[in-house]
Structure 1
Amino acid sequence: MRPDDAPSLPPPLRRVKLSDQIAEDLCRRIARDRMAPGQRLPNERALMRHYGCAKGTIREALKSLEVQGLVTMQSGPNGGAEIRPISIDAAAQQLRRFLHFRELDFAQVYAVRRGLEVALGTSVVGRLSEADLQRLDANIAACDAAAALGQRSAGRALELAFHDLLCDASDNALLAFMCRFLNSLLRDLVEFHGGSLTEHEAFGAHNLDSHRQLVAAFRAEDADAVGRVMHAHMCCAEHYMRRLDAAFRKDLLSSGTA
């Protein structure tokens, strides 16, 4: 058989480090035993005996879990790896890393955001307490004050915080997370490259008016009105983003506020 006719060999298997195997096994244990935040994994000595490995390997496995946000390391005689809930910020940062290597524009964001925000708004109709409604009113008042002082960046952040307050009232964890994630992109990573002061003010005025209409519809527990107002709000917000030549910063890995 000529060399060219020889059957191709499969690629070599990647050898998984023992510490990675242990980290994966500990993840399964956390899920299987339904371990809750505040509970602790066995101490290093117990884990060394169980897995038959050196301290350094166990520490590397635990460090991997800490980097993933699953545990936090507590020091002291009774220290160890303590289970902690993964924060929304940590989960969102992973999604930002995914999107960093892809093209992202406002048409894509608002194609998703329109549907999600309408679903979020209608889902909280009847669930908002008087205290929740007062927080929405307070947010609108703060936006109004920021606009009067010409504090454009603060006003934009407050406008998005209005939508975060709706997330707080939702009982749908996935819907609330996705809405919060999109809000964080728009709050932290958007730059405006054009538009007159008049157009910026018109954008802020539109957001305030939409939020007032939404609160009125929430108070009336009118789901149809909420859906209608929210959809129009999202469409108009996208329109202003285009007119103001908004763009995402290139570095989506950044977690700081612009």
Structure 2
Amino acid sequence: MNSTRSLHRGALRNKVPDAIADALRVQIVSGHFRVNDRLPAEKDLIEQFGASRGSVREALKSLEVQGLIYTMPGPGGGARVREVEMERVLDFMRNFFHFNPIDGAQMYQVRKLLEPETAASVIGLLTESDFEALQASIDTLHLADNPANWLSIRNAEVDFHDILAHACPNPLLSMVAKFVNSVVRANAVASSPSVEGMAGEHAFTRHNCEAHEAIVQALRDQDAQRVRDLMRDHIDTAERYVIAMQQRART
């Protein structure tokens, strides 16, 4: 009954449903329950925690909203542990930064640290399908002469970095890289270019095309230091273009 005693102490600071959810969360993340394992039945949780049915149900609902469990109806159903999906985590992060906006300088401060290591980490891990996808994203950039293709081009530029993030073997680095890419994508598609800004957009796209092609070749050559150097130079240059375009958009 250690969990019950801990619950009673924690309830001094938290609501009872929150304390129940916290106790179950600890058991899940510590490996006491594994993916698809069934949690104790509702009546057993009521007894274990000395709580009401309403408090137990609220705690389980909280864990379900967080993506830690799912509920199966009918005989043999109940609450079971689920694997937390990457996209759900990214959604929570995006919601947080919706109320804490990131400007271009802050975004590129992180990208300059993140992108070179993400790219270097995938050396030797990319499949031929990955290389084909990278090349397809580059090919899209060649459509820059037609303003109607602007959105596809901006998305293709981020697709390139998403392919590398997806192949990254470090789950923490991969998750952060994917999140930053989603911020870059959202910022890019939220602002359409003005007629006056199209020259800068075209120059930016040409740079991205050349930089991505050079990075792909270095990845094929499995030259980690060159990959890092090329990616660092690419992000430095991209920052200058993006900051300049944002400044034009504000004037």
User: Aligning the two structures, in what range does the TM-score lie when normalised by the shorter sequence?
Assistant: 0.7 to 0.9
Matched pairs, number: 235
Once the two structures are TM-superposed, the CA of residue 26 in structure 1 deviates from its matched residue by: 0.4
Give the ranges of 4+ consecutive aligned residues of structure 1 lying more than 6 Å apart after TM superposition: none
CA distance in 1, matches of 2:149, 2:32: 47
Once the two structures are TM-superposed, the CA of residue 80 in structure 1 deviates from its matched residue by: 1.6
Secondary structure of the 2:142 match is helix
What letter corresponds to residue 16 of structure 2 in structure 1? L
Once the two structures are TM-superposed, the CA of residue 32 in structure 1 deviates from its matched residue by: 2.8
Residues 21 and 63 of structure 2 are in contact (CA less than 8 Å); yes or no, is this contact kept in structure 1?
yes
1:5 aligned partner:
none
Once the two structures are TM-superposed, the CA of residue 15 in structure 1 deviates from its matched residue by: 4.3
Q: Does 1:49 align with 2:47?
A: yes
What letter corresponds to residue 203 of structure 1 in structure 2? F
Once the two structures are TM-superposed, the CA of residue 160 in structure 1 deviates from its matched residue by: 0.6
Provide structure 2 residue ranges, at least 5 long, that are not aligned to the other structure.
Answer: 1-10
Structure number with the higher helix fraction is: 2
TM-score by length of 1: 0.82
Match of 2:169 among 165, 168, 171: 171
Residues 105 and 243 of structure 2 are in contact (CA less than 8 Å); yes or no, is this contact kept in structure 1?
no
What letter corresponds to residue 211 of structure 2 in structure 1? S
1:206 aligned partner:
207
* Structure with more relative contact order (C-alpha pairs < 8 Å, separation 6 or more): 1
1:72 aligned partner:
70
Secondary structure of the 2:126 match is coil
Which aligned pairs between 1:98-247 and structure 2 lie closer than 5 A?
A: 98-102=96-100, 104-145=102-143, 150-190=148-188, 191-192=190-191, 195-245=196-246
CA distance in 2, matches of 1:151, 1:14: 58
Residues 154 and 35 of structure 1: CA distance in aligned 2, closer, same or farther (over 3 Å): farther
Once the two structures are TM-superposed, the CA of residue 52 in structure 1 deviates from its matched residue by: 2.8
Residues 146 and 154 of structure 1 are in contact (CA less than 8 Å); yes or no, is this contact kept in structure 2?
no
What letter corresponds to residue 83 of structure 1 in structure 2? V
TM-score by length of 2: 0.84
* Cα shift readout 1:193-245 (whole Å, capped 9, x = no counterpart): 65522221221222122111111111111112211211111011111111211
What letter corresponds to residue 92 of structure 1 in structure 2? L
Secondary structure of the 1:158 match is helix
* Cα shift readout 1:68-117 (whole Å, capped 9, x = no counterpart): 12112222222222222222232223333443444521111111101100
What letter corresponds to residue 74 of structure 2 in structure 1? G
Provide structure 1 residue ranges, at least 5 long, that are not aligned to the other structure.
Answer: 1-12, 248-258
1:91 aligned partner:
89
Q: Over the residues paired in the alignment, what is the CA RMSD in angstroms?
A: 2.4
Residues 166 and 178 of structure 2 are in contact (CA less than 8 Å); yes or no, is this contact kept in structure 1?
no
Residues 37 and 85 of structure 1 are in contact (CA less than 8 Å); yes or no, is this contact kept in structure 2?
yes
